[in-house]
Amino acid sequence: MGDAKFAAAYANHQAKRNHAEKWQVIIDATNMTTQPLASQLLGQMGLDSTRDKPFKLLDHACGAGVVGHLLRTSIAPEVLEKSSVLSADMAPGMVELVKDRQIREGWINSEARVLDAQKADLPDASFSHITVGMALHITPEPQLAADTPGGADCVRLLQPGGVVGLSTPMGAMGGHMRDLRDAFASFPFDAPFPDPFPTQLHGVGRWDDANWVARNLTDEHGLVGVRAELHAHLARYESGAEYARLFSPFLPVLLDGWWPEDTRRAHPLDEVLGLVAAFMDDKYGGRPWYSEFYALVATGQKKSE
């Protein structure tokens, strides 16, 4: 089984995601991994606690709403009251999850809707800022959205002088994935694990290469002031049970994409999670541990007219 099967499993999983099923696990997992990444991205875009001017943001591939949550907690309410945030995702379940967060957390001037980043039916120059978080390496045929951050469509949607920001995985395997690989190797049955683990599920571009991303943002789409930087942070896991819980939304994608059907039938998800938890507790002596997480953060600005 290869990347194509893994990509198909991911697409199938996305279509079925429902906020009523393990929604808190999804939020907790993104808080652990992608929230620090999103914080760096927003800071690089000028959307942090120092922001004192209104903005209009489109958060493509919003997932569990990490970007909107950070904006609500970091930017002054008086600025948010004059701004707007549109959280968009292709997965209806994720959009429902974000709508629920918007209500529960009291997001200001925010909405969420199902939207395809590859063909967003929105007016030109609608936004001052656009984010595309951890998506372009898995977006099918990203050239339809163009070869860069949601591509030409993102550039079209940006106002002159607007800023686009993206994040993608780096080629280096983080500690959390090395641990998962080692856990699979310890199972008392054949448990295939992709090696190397695919950081990109299509053949368009090199989204784990900072130089390639920077060149494309600049040369292909005319963005200026391009910055492509490494993001790294340490995630703390309290126990094997917590590690397994936080990986539980992702594991079905891995199993469906890499394990033969007879193996999946013989060893259901609950068994796999139990084996993973036991391995982690044994490896780290039942104590908390830290794992490193790597990603690429890139931003660029549309030329002013």
Q: How far apart are CA 78 and CA 52, in angstroms?
A: 9
Number of neighbours of residue 160 by Cβ within 10 angstroms: 11
pLDDT digits (tens, 9 = 90+) for 38-70: 999 999 999 999 999 999 999 998 988 999 999
pLDDT mean for each 10 residues of the chain (305 residues): 46 48 78 88 95 96 92 97 95 90 95 82 92 65 45 81 89 79 96 77 69 84 89 93 91 89 95 97 97 91 87
Model pTM score? 0.83
pLDDT value for 25 = 85
DSSP string, 119-181: S----TT-EEEEEEES-TTTSSSGGGS-SSTTHHHHHHHEEEEEEEEEEEE-SSPPHHHHHHH
pLDDT value for 159 = 95
Residue holding tokens 């390639």?
Answer: 212
pLDDT value for 181 = 93
Identity of the residue numbered 242: E
2, two tokens: 């290869």
Which domains does the chain show, CATH number per domain? 3-172+197-237+292-301 (3.40.50.150)
247, two tokens: 């990986």
Q: Are 131 and 41 in contact (CB under 8 A)?
A: yes
Identity of the residue numbered 64: A
Q: How many CA atoms lie within 13 A of 171 on its CB side?
A: 7
Q: Are 134 and 63 in contact (CB under 8 A)?
A: yes
Output the CA torsion sign for 11, 12, 13, 19. Answer: positive
pLDDT value for 28 = 86
Residue holding tokens 């008086």?
Answer: 78
Q: How many CA atoms lie within 13 A of 143 on its CB side?
A: 6
